[in-house]
Amino acid sequence: MRLEVRARDKSHTLNKSTLQAVEKMFGKLDKFMPDNGLVEVRMEHLNNKHKGKTHYVHATATIPGEPSTFHIEVISDDFRSAADRAHEKLSKKLSRRHAKQIRRPRGESRKQSFVASFVNRFRRS
């Protein structure tokens, strides 16, 4: 899995500790992603006229062979809490997809064994 973290704010710079924390946090998604998957994390500092200064995190997970990408957007008071919430949401989406991929391969042999066990249950009685 490749991980790209981008800070797109010209007036503010991210601390190295914040970048390392984000890389460590999103690096844990490796168990749900194939080797050639890509996770992009974009972090911006926004000035909202109603909320004041806010921090915006947008995470995108791209899996080759999937028809769509997974997008997460979070706005919070600081980058660490926004990144943490984005990681939770993205890991929940990817784990749900991973569980579906594991359950998906249901061939004819499984259907035949289910039908056979169902028929045998009624033959006994």
Structure tokens at 20: 């390392």
CA neighbor of 83 nearest in space, from 30, 24, 35, 36: 24
Domain ranges of the chain: 2-124
User: Alpha helix locations (H) across the chain?
Assistant: 16-27, 79-103, 108-124
Digit-coded pLDDT (tens) for 8-53: 766 677 888 888 999 999 999 988 888 888 999 999 888 877 777 7
Q: Which CATH superfamily is domain 2-124 in?
A: Ribosome hibernation promotion factor-like (3.30.160.100)
pTM of the entire structure? 0.74
